Amino acid sequence: MDFEFSAEQQAFAAEVETFLDANDDPDVFDVTRENMAQIVDTPKRRAFMASLGAKGWLGLTWPEQYGGSAGEGIYEFLLNEALAGRGGPQIGKGVGIIGKTLIAQGNDFLKQTFLPMILRNEVEFAVGYSEPDAGSDAASMRLKAEPAERDGVTGWILNGQKTWTTSAHFAEWYWLGTRTNPDDKHRGITLMLVPLDQPGITINAIQTMGGVPMGDERTNEVFIEDVFVPDDYVVGEVNRGFQYISQALDLERFTMFTFAPIKQRLDLLIDYVRTETRDGVPLRDDPVIRREIARLVTDAEVARVLGLRVVAESMKAEKTPGTPPPTIESSQYKLFATEFSRRLASASMDIAGPGGVLRVKTETAPMEGRAESTYRYTVIDTIGGGSSEIQKNIIARRGLGLAKTF
C-alpha cells in the first residue's frame, strides 16, 4: 500500500486546514474533549457541521445520485482527522453509520426523508444497540418488537430498554436495534428509525468517569414502552439487522477513534519531557523516560499505519463490488489504537508525577492537566464501538481461524 498522499489529497487537506483556521471557535473546537466526547451536541457545533455540509464535505464518499461527490474514502479520512486534531466534532454517525447503511439497504422513503437532512446536518441520531444484558454482544439484544397495526397503519410495537446510548439526550432520531425473532440470535434482529420525542420513550442520564465531575461526558439509558413504529421506518429486511449492524460497526470502529487526538497528546507529552526538569535534572536525560518515549513513538507509528490500512482496504471494497468491508483491519486498528491511547494516558500520568492528578485546564498542572482527563476518557474508548475483548475475538475468529474465547 502507498503511505504517501497524492498532490490532490494534500491540496484538499490544506483547504480543510484553511477552512478550520477561518472558522476557529473555542465553543466548537476543544482538544480536551476526547474521541467519544466529540459529538454535535450544541447549537454552535451543529451550525459548524452545517457549514461543512454547505461545502459538500459531508457527502464526500456518497454516490452522486444521493447528493454526494462519489469521492475516494481517503478524502473523508483526511477531513475527519483534521477535525479530530483540532478537537472538533467529526462527521460521525449520520454520514457514516446511518447514511451509508440507508444508501445500501434503506427503502426509497427513508432515503428521500433522511439523506438530504444528513447532508445538510439538519438531524442528529442516537444509536441504540447496547442493553443491560447485551453490551458488547449486540446479537443478544432483547428489546421486543411485535407486529401491530395502529390507525390502519401496519408496523411494530416496541418494549424494552437500551443503555449506554450517547446522544439520546439531544438527538432527534433513534437508530434502534430490535428483537423481531426470539428464536434466532443472529437472524432475529431488525433495525428501525424511531423519533425520540414521543410518549413512551424515557431518557435518563448516566455520567461516565470521563465526565464526572466535569459534566462533559454523558451517556444515557433509554426506556421504551408501547412505542409504535410504522413499517416504512424499518431499515432493510426484517431480521437482517445484525448483518447491517456488523457492517456499520466497521465504520464506527474506525471513524470514532481517530488517530489525530492521540498524536496530539503524544506531542504534548514529548514537549513536556523536552523542557521540564525534576530535581534539577532534565527529564529528557532520564534513561527510563527516554525508553518510554521511544516505545510510545513507535506504537504511535504502528497505530497510524494500521489506520491507513483500513482506508486502503475500504477503498478497494468501494471499487470492487462484492468485496467485503475491512472487518479484521478495522478491529485491529480499533484494538491497537485505543489500547495504545490508554497506555499513553498512563505514561503521561507517571511522567507528570504528583501534579498529573490536577484537573484538565489547570494552568499550573503539567501539560495543563491533560494527563488526568485522558486517563479517565481513554478507558471509555476501549469499550465504545465494541470492547477490546470483542475486537480480539473478531481478529482471532475471522483473521486467524481460532475458536471464540468467551
pLDDT along the chain (406 residues), means of 10: 83 97 94 76 93 94 94 90 91 88 96 97 94 79 96 97 92 97 94 97 86 65 98 97 83 72 95 94 95 98 93 78 79 94 96 92 90 86 84 89 71
Residue with cell 452545517: 50
pLDDT on residue 230: 98
How many CB atoms neighbour CB 328 within 10 A? 19
pLDDT value of position 251: 60
DSSP β-ladder status, 173-179 and 125-128? parallel
Decide: helix, strand or coil at residue 322: coil
Q: What is the pLDDT of residue 137?
A: 74
Look up residue 359 and give its DSSP letter.
Answer: P
Helices (H) and strands (E) in the chain, counts: 12, 10
Look at residue 2 in the predicted model and tell me its pLDDT: 62
Amino acid identity, residue 386?
Answer: G
Distance CA 87, CA 191 (A): 31
Query: CA 311: distance to chain centroid?
Result: 15
For 184, the grid coordinates are: 434466532
Per-residue model confidence (pLDDT) at position 10: 95
Asked whether the CA dihedral 231, 235, 236, 239 is positive or negative, the reply is: negative
Alpha carbons 398 and 404: distance in angstroms, whole number: 10
- Displacement of CA 264 from its chain's centroid (Å): 18
Rg, Å, the chain Cα set: 22
Residues, the chain, total? 406
DSSP state, 204? E
Q: Which domains does the chain have, with CATH numbers?
A: 7-90 (no CATH), 127-238 (2.40.110.10), 257-399 (1.20.140.10)
Under 8 Å between Cβ of 246 and 220: no
Whole-angstrom distance, CA of residue 23 vs CA of residue 32: 18
- What are residue 191's DSSP bridge partners? 177, 235
Return d(Cα 157, Cα 144) in angstroms, integer.
8
CA 209 to CA 348: how far, in whole Å? 18
pLDDT at res. 32: 85
**Would you report the helix, strand and coil content of the chain in percent, each value rounded to 5?**
50, 15, 35
Whole-angstrom Cα distance, residue 348 to residue 110? Answer: 46
